[in-house]
């Protein structure tokens, strides 16, 4: 929590904007907060917090609860989030592919892009079985613990891949691969196979099979993958049908992204 | 039978040396757990809806109902192998992350009891600790990660402290159940560091962890299973 809401690197930045951004983040972590609570959590004087909140309220980025005077994120935040997704090329182009992949295999589908050392989920199609599921758009998953991340990093330039392998590889489950040399070999296999497999490395009981998506330069733009219960996705390793379905979606989406035949690794 | 002990409980209570860890005890524990999960099903689901798939209550109910049937229909009278069977049933019938985690936990509890010569309170303690170990090996979770470990670990510690202080198995189970409940309360302000909730970011702050809650229910059931002895 402290890292998330810590003051940013001050060089060349505006302190009040940094503080306003931290207020938005702390409000994103709790249903409702009062001025004092925000002041305590961020270590910013109450009067300053109050002024920043009033400014953010004018911009509809925060709202004040009429009953108890506490603050929460405002409606403009949703509009900004939607704009981010609408303007995201991979997401926009993935909607059709993700929907048809989910229907074809009867499981949930996620589309993700690399964001630092994590995969940011930009699209999520629920498993088509009418069960209650939680929307994972906006989720941030360590790259080494999910098939989406491994699918992208396997095709990243060696310098970037090495940097990621040298960074923090903490476990999310007992099965998360945290040894860089084992992970490196696994990435080589992913590059050969064209799909990445994850077996309960992010969440116990869950597996994922993902294919990279390439852009017009032939660089990996993100990945598309099927995610679901391990006993259904990997009863005896991934089924050839499932691999084929994921690979086809990755290729089709790459073509839509402008990747040439070569770049799409046909 | 152990030598004379100071009896702090009422009539009929026994020291940890004479506590009988038998098939009847296993049945009482699993039946109690299933009954309390039935009662708390909607609450567990509601907790899970905030940061999970909203299926924890239903999954646990299905799994423990099946576990009761497993124990009732088994001709095996060995408490260890019965608990191993419970573990296997939970793995297949609970599903999600809780299935493998509780399944491994109960299997480890069963294995430890199977290996013991005279199953007593000390063996139960070792078994509960082995269950925790199995869960941690699978989930890589430590205390403070906002998982079932946050209830299970303090419960085992309280159980151990009570026995070390010369307390009876029943008292140890009561203290374990209390410690598990306190552990659940403590998950509220935490941000999840394991499980799906961990990568959904700070959404988990302010919510009680459903896995820790169901663990507290299981330790509550253990206490009742020990209290209601013939």
Instruction: Say which of B54, B196, B202 has its CB closest to residue A203.
Output: B196
If asked whether residues A105 and A237 sit together in one domain, one would say yes
Tens digit of each residue's pLDDT (9 = 90 or more) over B193-212: 888 888 886 677 778 899 99
Q: Domain B23-227: which CATH class?
A: mainly alpha
**What pLDDT is stored for residue B19 in this prediction?**
78
User: CA-to-CA distance for B12 and A217, rounded, in angstroms?
Assistant: 79
Is residue A178 less than 8 Å (CB to CB) from chain B? Answer: no
Can you tell me whether residue B24 is helix, strand or coil? helix
Q: Who among B101, B199, B200 is closest to A204 (CB)?
A: B101
Do the interacting molecules here have an ipTM over 0.85? no
Q: Are residues A104 and A198 in the same domain?
A: yes
- Evaluate whether residue A80 is within a structural domain: no
> Which residue among A74, A102, A129 closes a domain?
A74
Of the residues A74, A96, A127, the one at which a domain ends: A74
Give domain status of residue A180, yes or no.
Answer: yes
Q: Confirm or reject contact between A85 and chain B (CB < 8 A).
A: no
Is A3 in CB contact (< 8 Å) with chain B?
no
Chain A positions in Cβ-Cβ contact with residue B134 (cut-off 8 Å) = none
In a domain, A263, yes or no: no
Query: Do B101 and A176 lie within an 8 Å CB cutoff?
Result: no
Which of A74, A106, A127 is at the close of a domain? A74
Contacts of A174 in chain B (CB under 8 A): 136-140
| Cβ contacts of B194 on chain A, cutoff 8 Å | 172-173
Assign residue A103 the CATH number of its domain: 3.30.450.40
DSSP B14: -
Chain B segment 84-143 residues within 8 A of A by beta carbon are 95-101, 136-140
* Structural domain contains residue A261: no
pLDDT of B14 over the 70 cut: no
Given this model, what pLDDT does residue B190 score? 86
Residues of chain B neighbouring A172 (CB-CB closer than 8 A)? 140, 194, 198-199
Chain A nearest CA to B191, separation (Å): 7
| Crossing angle for the helix pair B210-227 and B56-73, to the nearest 10 degrees | 30
Instruction: Identify all chain B residues contacting A112, using CB atoms and an 8 Å cutoff.
Output: none
pTM of the predicted structure, to 2 decimals: 0.85
- Answer yes or no: is pLDDT of B176 > 70: yes
pLDDT in tens, B116-133: 988 899 999 999 999 999
Question: Which residue does chain A place closest to B139, by CA atoms?
Answer: A173
- Range(s) of the domain holding residue A193: 88-256
Q: Which residues from chain B sit within 8 angstroms of residue A171, using beta carbons?
A: 140
A20 in any annotated domain? yes
Please indicate, yes or no, if residue A264 is contained in any of the structural domains. no
Give pLDDT tens digits for A195-222.
999 999 999 999 999 999 999 999 999 9
pLDDT at B174 over 50: yes
Kindly write down the DSSP assignment for every residue of B152-212, as one continuous string: HHHHHHHHHHHHHTT--HHHHHHHHHHHHHHHHHHTTTPPP-SSHHHHTGGGGTTS--HHH
Q: What residue of A is the nearest CA neighbor of B136?
A: A174
- pLDDT, one tens digit per residue, over A18-67 is 999 999 999 987 778 999 999 999 999 999 999 999 999 999 999 999 88
pLDDT higher than threshold 50 for residue B153: yes
Give the CATH number, domain containing residue A18: 1.10.10.10
CA distance A4 to chain B (A): 9
Q: How many CB contacts within 8 angstroms connect chain A with chain B?
A: 81
């Amino acid at each position: 929590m402290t890292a998330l809401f810590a003051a940013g690197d001050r060089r060349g930045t505006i302190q009040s904007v940094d503080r306003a951004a931290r207020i938005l983040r702390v409000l994103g972590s709790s249903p409702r907060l009062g001025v004092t609570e925000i002041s305590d959590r961020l270590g910013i004087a109450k009067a300053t917090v109050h002024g920043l909140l009033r400014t953010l309220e004018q911009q509809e980025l925060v709202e004040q609860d009429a009953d108890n005077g506490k603050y929460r994120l405002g409606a403009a935040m949703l509009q900004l989030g939607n704009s981010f997704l609408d303007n995201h090329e991979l997401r926009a182009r993935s909607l059709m592919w993700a929907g048809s992949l989910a229907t074809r295999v009867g499981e949930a589908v996620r589309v993700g892009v690399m964001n630092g050392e994590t995969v940011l989920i930009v699209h999520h199609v629920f498993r088509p079985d009418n069960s209650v599921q939680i929307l994972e758009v906006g989720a941030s998953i360590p790259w080494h613990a999910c098939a989406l991340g491994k699918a992208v990093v396997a095709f990243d330039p060696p310098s970037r891949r090495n940097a990621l392998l040298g960074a923090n590889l903490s476990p999310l489950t007992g099965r998360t691969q945290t040894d860089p040399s084992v992970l490196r070999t696994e990435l080589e296999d992913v590059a050969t196979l064209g799909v990445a497999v994850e077996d309960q490395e992010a969440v116990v009981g869950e597996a994922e099979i993902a294919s990279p998506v390439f852009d017009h330069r032939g660089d990996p733009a993100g990945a598309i993958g099927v995610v679901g219960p391990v006993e259904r996705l990997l009863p005896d390793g991934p089924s050839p049908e499932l691999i084929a379905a994921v690979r086809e979606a990755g290729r089709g989406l790459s073509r839509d992204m402008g990747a040439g035949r070569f770049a799409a690794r046909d | 039978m152990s030598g004379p002990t100071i009896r702090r409980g009422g009539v009929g209570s026994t020291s940890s040396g004479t506590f009988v860890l038998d098939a009847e005890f296993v049945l009482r524990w699993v039946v109690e757990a299933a009954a309390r999960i039935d009662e708390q099903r909607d609450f567990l689901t509601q907790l899970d809806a905030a940061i999970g798939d909203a299926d924890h209550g239903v999954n646990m109910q299905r799994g423990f109902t099946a576990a009761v049937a497993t124990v009732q229909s088994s001709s095996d009278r060995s408490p260890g192998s019965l608990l191993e069977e419970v573990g296997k049933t939970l793995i297949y019938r609970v599903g999600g992350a809780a299935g493998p985690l509780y399944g491994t936990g109960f299997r480890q509890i069963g294995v430890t009891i199977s290996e013991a010569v005279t199953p007593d309170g000390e063996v139960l303690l070792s078994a509960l600790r082995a269950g925790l170990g199995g869960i941690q090996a699978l989930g890589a979770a430590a205390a403070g990660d906002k998982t079932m470990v946050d209830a299970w670990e303090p419960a085992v510690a309280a159980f151990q402290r009570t026995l070390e202080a010369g307390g009876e198995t029943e008292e140890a189970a009561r203290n374990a159940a209390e410690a598990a409940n306190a552990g659940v309360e403590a998950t509220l302000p935490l941000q999840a560091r394991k499980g799906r909730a961990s990568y959904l970011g700070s959404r988990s702050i302010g919510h009680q962890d459903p896995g820790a809650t169901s663990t507290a229910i299981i330790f509550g059931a253990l206490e009742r299973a020990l209290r209601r002895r013939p």
